[in-house]
Amino acid sequence: MEHREIERINELARKKKTVGLTEAELAEQAELRKRYIAEFRASMQDVLDHTVVQEPDGTKIPLKDYEKAMEKKNEGKDETNGK
């Protein structure tokens, strides 16, 4: 999202608090917020897709595979005594 679009979101928010928005401005604000949130989510998903967990032994496991790796690591262990 471009800087000017973020500025417009903020401008509309300030105007909404002071004098209110027209129907067209409300629609514009909703569309800008929708785009902002979509881009934020895509960016966050990219961060998570590239996040790794480093084990004490130095191995690195992609976050998306970490739960499966822990299940595999713990299978065979007795849940009651951790062995």
Looking up residue 27, the CATH number of its domain turns out to be 1.10.287.540
Overall domain count for the chain: 1
Does the residue 81 lie in any domain? Answer: no
Instruction: Report the pLDDT value the prediction gives residue 83, as an integer from 0 to 100.
Output: 53
Cα–Cα distance for residue pair 44/38, rounded to 1 Å: 10
Does the residue 33 lie in any domain? Answer: yes
- Domain extent at residue 38: 3-48
Cα–Cα distance for residue pair 52/60, rounded to 1 Å: 6
Instruction: Report the pLDDT value the prediction gives residue 73, as an integer from 0 to 100.
Output: 82
Does the residue 38 lie in any domain? Answer: yes
DSSP state of 60: E
Instruction: Report the pLDDT value the prediction gives residue 76, as an integer from 0 to 100.
Output: 63
Instruction: Report the pLDDT value the prediction gives residue 52, as an integer from 0 to 100.
Output: 95
Does the residue 63 lie in any domain? Answer: no
Does the residue 39 lie in any domain? Answer: yes
Does the residue 74 lie in any domain? Answer: no
Does the residue 71 lie in any domain? Answer: no
Pair of tokens at residue 40: 């934020």
- This prediction has a pTM of 0.70
